[in-house]
Chain A
């Protein structure tokens, strides 16, 4: 059922997408792989990979020229679907006028299974509640996704524990698996939607052979087997709810800087705060910016923050992401992408904290 294209085919695919979409894809810049506007296959980070660890990220050259031989960077679909700043309304002449919600038709190439799981989670939070977020809905419509099945993994990845990867099962228009060997370099292409099928048809790709499919499957399976980092999700909501006074919270608070990096890079974090500005001509605007439960202002009420201590704030983030999120939205809030571990300046690892609590450990 999957099709097969080569690098030239991929270049054509990107070109077709670029005709009618703002094209977003991976590019190496500023020492990281960003998801940024690209114009052609030339912009992809061919031959680059990324080295992840607790509080550690480095671009490293590969020994081959894989286009998608990296894992992830600080961006996710959130960068475009739920940007850090979004206009909400303006007020002029006694009227509140909504800001336009609809984004430009966008195509994004390179997202991983964990990223797709994160999109589905944000869809549930922002579209399926009693009041949908109209800005998110506007960006979400006309969002073409070319996903990539992971054939490499990072040291901070744990999608296998969260049931979110490394294979993308749904949520994409087209799904690619890059197969690279000494004598061959091709991409398996799975069709996810009618829009994907239509776009792919323009390239008239051949169907993949079973050998080619197996090569792709093997590469993804090997990735899954390689991931060793794990999060035990057994009864996790009940476990966290009954351990709100665990000494580990104070212990991690002793390390946590409350810098909010983790919430910034987490692809499912959705907290925002409104910012109101006014000008002398009497007009005013409101925009929505990312906020973080780690900041003191976040829980400010009646004169002081409800969550004053670092322990209280770290506990809020972790018990929400892993525990109460399930009660609220039906799934975990965590997709195991590992970004919070990679981008934490002090390398706090949510899977280690969880394991320590389950083991009954209090202090390091």
Chain B
């Protein structure tokens, strides 16, 4: 079975890998699966660069279980030229993969503390890998809380996993949508409201946040209001990325290269940078 091998120098050269499986998750969001035979080990929060020869290349956070080393999964939203082309791939089609790149979620710093995961929209994708990792060693952490906000019930990503996680006794899962519709029996409202109410020790907890930048900003405020310290709150940032390896310059946010100094940053570092218009 063809699979990924380690990217060889030069660092911009992709490895040709066939798509193993393709699944639609939502109307505009899909997941590609690749067999990797243990040759593409990654830490939760890291990303891969996926290339369609002649079309383009995009960075995508890896959202599969990092401890299932035989495969990786990339959940992608089809909204632009390259991602729409990727959405037309089917098993057997060949793409180029490079990676993993970037910093990862600091799970070790959450040992013996409460772990709060706050996701907005497709932001659940970069967090799914760290949820898997945390559940794999559940005993290492205190309370495990997932707070997830989406646009509406049809936009809830990974519904099957959400149901599984809600069914666990050792994990608190709260879901809210911006607009519910007549069929929706769950919460309606902003995800920050879930932060206000969730059960965790704010002074001590580690919070991992992913979603639109404005949403992350307000979640950070809500956490701070509850007593969280900025050094314990982590965001994953996004900027225009072309190379993913700190050479092309595009992804700079102030002095930080999002691709190599990030994409995961503590709020202490990223908060002041996020506050500057057009930085």
A and B touch in the complex (CB under 8 A): yes
Give residues in A with beta carbon < 8 Å to B.
88-89, 91, 94-96, 98, 101, 125-126, 129-135, 241, 244-245, 270-274, 276-279, 284-286, 288, 291, 293, 298-302, 306-309, 311-312, 315-316, 320, 324, 327-328
B54 touches A327 (CB 8 A): no
Interface hit among B11-19, B124-132, B148-156: B11-19
Question: Is residue B22 contacting chain A, with contact meaning CB distance below 8 A?
Answer: no
Chain B interface main SS type: loop
29 contacts between A and B (CB under 8 A): A88-B12, A89-B12, A89-B13, A89-B14, A91-B16, A95-B16, A96-B96, A101-B10, A129-B247, A131-B11, A132-B9, A244-B276, A244-B279, A272-B242, A273-B242, A273-B248, A274-B248, A284-B53, A284-B54, A285-B54, A286-B53, A301-B240, A306-B240, A306-B279, A308-B278, A309-B278, A311-B278, A320-B252, A328-B255
Determine the distance from Cα of A286 to Cα of B239 in the docked complex, in whole angstroms: 22
CB-CB contacts of B240-279 with A at 8 A, as 1s and 0s?
A: 1011011111101011010010000000000000001111
CB distance from B172 to the nearest CB of A (A): 31
Determine the distance from Cα of A279 to Cα of B96 in the docked complex, in whole angstroms: 17
Question: Is residue B94 contacting chain A, with contact meaning CB distance below 8 A?
Answer: yes
CB contact between B247 and one of A131, A307, A311, A316 (< 8 Å): that residue: A131
Interface size, chain B (Cβ < 8 Å): 36
Question: Is residue B56 contacting chain A, with contact meaning CB distance below 8 A?
Answer: yes
CB contact between A134 and one of B9, B53, B238 (< 8 Å): that residue: B9
- A residues in contact with B243, CB < 8 Å: 272, 274
B239 touches A299 (CB 8 A): yes
A126 touches B240 (CB 8 A): no
- A residues in contact with B277, CB < 8 Å: 312
Question: Is residue B114 contacting chain A, with contact meaning CB distance below 8 A?
Answer: no
A298 touches B240 (CB 8 A): yes
A94 touches B94 (CB 8 A): yes
Question: Is residue B55 contacting chain A, with contact meaning CB distance below 8 A?
Answer: yes
Determine the distance from Cα of A306 to Cα of B258 in the docked complex, in whole angstroms: 14
A133 touches B15 (CB 8 A): no
